[in-house]
Amino acid sequence: MGIVWRRRWWRFLVGGINRSVIFLAIFAWNLKGGNTAIKGYLGYLIPGLVVMAAVSASYSDLVNWFTLRRTFYRVLDEYLLSPISNSSLLLGHVLGGAVKGFLIALIVYLSSNLFMNGLHLNPLIFLQLFIICLTFASLAVAVAMVAGGDKDVLMFTNLIVFPMTFFCGTFFPVDRLPGFLKIGSWFLPLTAATYNLRSLALNGLNNFSWFIQSLAWLFILYLSAFILLRLRRED
């Protein structure tokens, strides 16, 4: 994966940042000249767009790449027959997807400084952003292990991942959601990470509880991917 990305890095970057940067520019141009409340919403929105870029780049490409090669090209069978441990195989794919997502999200975050001043830059922001990328790269591998084809991946993405990017505080506060959605959103892997990233970006403050929740979701999804990969190998 590293060799492929090294040779085609410009395709991945252009394709990954295109939609997020367009969203960022459109919202910034339309909200920047408004009153204080509108400018405040722009500050609220930018971390959400960065999270969406991280999720899309870490999850979408990897789950499609892995599923296609497992179900159509049968490349996974060759991997499983080779003397490579489950942990090495999983870690390589998760890191590959997460690093790509992190680079794209980082470019979007740095680009947002062109439209809004006052965003913080500290190591905890990068750490929280990388945890988000690792979490959804792990989810991508887990989904790829059980998906029967690209249509299964599309169904899961449309039913679970895509709504998650709207119900986890990316565009609007979770408190504005109806009662059952407001409670349920805190049981999703993206909510705590999004709120902590926003707190770090706007205020420079790390919420330890939100940070631990994001780490717990990373552990759960990485462990799930490992178990599913091992079961696939035993088959």
Checking if the pLDDT of 34 tops 60, the result is no
Q: 42-46, 185-189, 221-225 — which is least confidently predicted?
A: 42-46
Domain membership of residue 81 as a residue range: 2-234
Report pLDDT for 134.
96
Angle at 75 between CA 94 and CA 229, to 5 degrees: 45
Residue of 50, 52, 79, 47 whose CA lies nearest to 65 = 79
Report pLDDT for 162.
84
For residue 36, what pLDDT band results from cuts at 50, 70 and 90? Answer: low
Distance CA 208, CA 180 (A): 25
For residue 75, what pLDDT band results from cuts at 50, 70 and 90? Answer: confident
Structural domain count, the chain: 1
Tokens 């990316």 correspond to 170
For residue 64, what pLDDT band results from cuts at 50, 70 and 90? Answer: confident
Distance CA 157, CA 132 (A): 17
Checking if the pLDDT of 191 tops 80, the result is yes
Checking if the pLDDT of 105 tops 70, the result is yes
Q: With the C-alpha atoms ordered 138, 58, 95, 123, is the resulting torsion angle positive or negative?
A: negative
3-class DSSP state of 188: coil
Checking if the pLDDT of 128 tops 60, the result is yes
Q: For the purposes of burial, counting CB atoms within 10 Å of the CB of 178, is it exposed (0-12), middle (13-18) or buried (19 or more)?
A: exposed
Checking if the pLDDT of 35 tops 70, the result is no
What is the pTM for the complete model shown? 0.88
Provide mean pLDDT across the span 191-215.
93
134-149 per-position pLDDT tens digit: 999 999 999 988 887 7
141-180 per-position pLDDT tens digit: 999 888 877 788 888 888 888 888 888 888 888 888 887 8
Report pLDDT for 213.
95
* Burial track 134-147 (b if 16+ CB lie within 10 A, e otherwise): bbbbbbbbbbbbeb
